[in-house]
Amino acid sequence: MENTLLVLVGPTGIGKTDLSLQLAKALNTVIISADSRQIYKELKIGTAAPTEEQVKQVQHYMVGSHSIHDYYNAYEFEQDVLKLLDDLFTAQKTVLLTGGSMMYIDAVCKGIDDLPTIDEELRKEVLARYEKDGLDAIRRELKMLDPVFYQQVDLKNPKRVIHAVEVCLMTGKPYSSLRTNNNKERPFNQLIIGLDIDREELYNRINLRVDQMVEQGLIEEARQFYPHKHLNSLNTVGYKELFAHFDGDISLEKAIELIKRNSRRYAKRQLSWFRRNKEINWFHPAQKEEIINFVMQKQTY
């Protein structure tokens, strides 16, 4: 049997964690997380990281592997996971990669361009301009520096726009000129499973999960890291809304409402991204037995 990377994708809150545990047990394999925030050991509640009990059930990798103070990106994730797979495939023929971070999934499955590490001072300068002048000013800067990428990027996504400006300023070249978008050959098979449900049901799940996070101590967790709110690792849904509450800008009720809204919007973007991939085999998350049987039948002997 050839080595196979089984990839489980889907929007936030759809139930990837529970299904990944069942799949890993059925296949007698391990799990690599492709969640760009679960890699940070300090962030547990707000990232819905696997619990200690779940980690005891199945060996997990790339969970709690870094600190919020570490700079980390999709290219580094690609390199780390490919090295990890070299080792894991010596012991088992199938490894499970699961998560919802689109760039991290694509980095492993298709490859990503080696973009420069951004100087910390430059990062702070661009972030300060964003906080002072707003997203519109950063958009205008990107349009001037790289009109090609300006037409391609999600202009409502501050992280994408800010990063593109950082790369332009760091390299002196348009961000678009550094992106080759060529898929890289991988020395293993890939089988991709996608989870999707009715939009209303998904949104209800997301709202419920946010309420559960608050009950589990999300507010206290966010308050603990409030002094570090400038870090890129904390510029994420669930924390930035609570930071705005701690700043006195919005009420706690409004912050929780925004976490739910922004989580729903993120889920919508995730689904739009994944649906462009015609290699994904789509299932309802309740079809656990069908998914396991499908994977078993697809194994190459």
Q: What is the pLDDT of residue 232?
A: 81
pLDDT tens for 186-221 read 999 999 999 999 999 999 999 999 999 999 999 999
* Kind and range of the H or E run holding 115: none
* Alpha-carbon gap, residue 146 to 134, rounded angstroms: 19
Segment 167-182 shows an average pLDDT of 82
Q: From CA 46, how far away is CA 161, in angstroms rounded?
A: 24
Q: What helix, strand, coil percent values describe the chain, rounded to 5?
A: 55, 10, 35
What's the CATH number for 120-178? 1.10.20.140
pTM above 0.75, yes or no: yes
Assigned token pair, 215: 């009950």
Tokens 């409502």 correspond to 156
- Report the alpha-carbon distance of residue 218 to residue 293 in Å, rounded: 37
Structure confidence at residue 180 (pLDDT):
66
Sign for the pseudo-dihedral over CA of 269, 270, 271, 277: positive
Band (301; pLDDT cuts 50, 70, 90): very low
Higher pLDDT, residue 153 or 181? 153
Residue 172 is predicted with a pLDDT of 87
Look at residue 300 and tell me whether its pLDDT is greater than 60.
Answer: no
The mean of the pLDDT values for the chain is: 92
Q: Where are the beta strands (DSSP E) in the chain?
A: 4-9, 31-33, 60-61, 94-99, 189-195, 280-283
Encode pLDDT of 241-285 as tens digits.
999 999 999 999 999 999 999 999 999 989 988 998 999 999 999
What 3-state DSSP class applies to 96?
A: strand
The pLDDT of residue 236 is above 50: yes
Specify whether the CB–CB gap between 90 and 65 falls below 8 A: no
pLDDT in tens, 55-98: 999 999 999 999 999 988 888 999 999 999 999 999 999 999 99
CA Rg value for the chain: 20
Domain boundaries, the chain: 4-113+182-298, 120-178
298 confidence band (pLDDT: 50, 70, 90): confident
Between these two residues, 138 and 116, which has the higher pLDDT value?
138
Strands (E), 140-237: 189-195
120-178 has the same fold as 4-113+182-298: no
pLDDT of residue 113: 75
CA distance 176 to 149: 5
Domain spanning 4-113+182-298: which superfamily?
P-loop containing nucleotide triphosphate hydrolases (3.40.50.300)
**Average pLDDT in the 30-45 region?**
95
pLDDT for 181: 65
